[in-house]
Amino acid sequence: MNGHDMSLLSRSDRLLLRLGRQLVPREDREKWHAAWFAELYYLHNCISESRRRFIGSGLLADALWLRNKACRSAYSGSAILCLVTLMGLLVLVSVPVVVSAGSLQGLARYSITGIPIMVGQSLLICFVAVLTSPNFTRSRAPLPMRLRAKSHAFSAAKTGMLLLAMFVLSEEICAPFSPCTRFVPFLSQNLIFVLLGLYALRWASTDGHQRCRCCLRLLRPCPHIGRVSHNFLEWNGTEMMCPDGHGRLSIPEMESSWCPSSSWHHDTA
């Protein structure tokens, strides 16, 4: 395998090396395998069997570290990580509702009565959020339909999970007051849900504004560009770069008639 005579190692070392090789990312396997094969071959007859177990744990720890590094590089700031986190938040806030329902029938009754109310309130929240949202980011060149569809699908999924989580949270906040009266908790729940929903949509809008238009990963901020004293003479502000090099977002220091909003520059190179 890979130009190395595996028969020079013991059976346990060969199994350990194969296991670690499967954990290491594909692009690092050859280099990792060569380094650890040489390490195991050199130390095979130089250390005791008890100390060899520590080398085995170090081999697996090194393989797991490389896998963890590759996963962080692939998913850090990605849309998938964002949706998984929001799904975890939704599950977390839904646990008290599931416990209080007591059965699937109770959960179904709660869903049947709560979903129409949530949909109506969510439409109102989205309408207010659109009216009060800041200027949208302009793109210097039209994006392909596939990228726009992916961005809209991500925004819809993110908004849906946020609104559902905020609705369940508002219900749980007002639940202790329900045995006393019905009208006051209903109004309080509506008010709390509207406030939480507007705040959640504000965060969702800011999060989407700071993502790449191609891969939907969070952009990395760069140092301030330009001179603040030349606001009326030349562009100055902050640029945020895509980690994968798809483009950059230019955010002006001060909005003006010739630069009314942020602009996205797609890197076609």
Residue 11 pLDDT class (50, 70, 90 cuts) = confident
Instruction: Round to whole Å and give the CA distance between 254 and 268.
Output: 28
User: What mean pLDDT do residues 140-165 have?
Assistant: 85
Residue 157 pLDDT class (50, 70, 90 cuts) = very high
Question: How is the chain split into domains, by residue range?
Answer: 6-75, 79-209, 220-266
Average pLDDT of the chain is: 78
User: What mean pLDDT do residues 248-268 have?
Assistant: 71
* Percent of the chain clearing pLDDT 90 (strictly above): 7
Indicate if the pLDDT at residue 103 is higher than 80: no
Residue 223 pLDDT class (50, 70, 90 cuts) = confident
Q: Which residues contact 79 (CB under 8 A, 6 or more apart)?
A: 154, 211, 216, 217
Higher local confidence (pLDDT), 99 or 215: 215
- pLDDT confidence of residue 104: 66
CA 184 to chain CA mean position, Å: 37
Residue 244 pLDDT class (50, 70, 90 cuts) = confident
Residue 154 pLDDT class (50, 70, 90 cuts) = very high
User: What mean pLDDT do residues 149-163 have?
Assistant: 91
Most confident of 75-79, 100-104, 169-173, 193-197: 193-197
User: In 3D, which of 155, 127, 131, 134 has the Cα closest to residue 213?
Assistant: 155
- pLDDT confidence of residue 2: 47
User: In 3D, which of 131, 126, 118, 123 has the Cα closest to residue 90?
Assistant: 118
228 in Cβ contact with 235 (< 8 Å): no
Instruction: Round to whole Å and give the CA distance between 203 and 195.
Output: 13
> Which of 160-169, 208-217, 255-264 is least confident?
255-264
Higher local confidence (pLDDT), 232 or 207: 207
User: In 3D, which of 45, 20, 44 has the Cα closest to residue 32?
Assistant: 20
Scanning the chain, the segments in alpha helix (DSSP H) are 11-23, 29-43, 49-75, 79-101, 104-132, 145-174, 183-209
- pLDDT confidence of residue 88: 92
- pLDDT confidence of residue 46: 61
Indicate if the pLDDT at residue 111 is higher than 90: no
Phi and psi at residue 247, in whole multiples of 5°?
165, -165
- pLDDT confidence of residue 85: 92
Buried b (16+ CB within 10 A) or exposed e, 128-154: ebeeeeeeebeeeeebeeebeebbeeb
- pLDDT confidence of residue 158: 93
Indicate if the pLDDT at residue 90 is higher than 50: yes
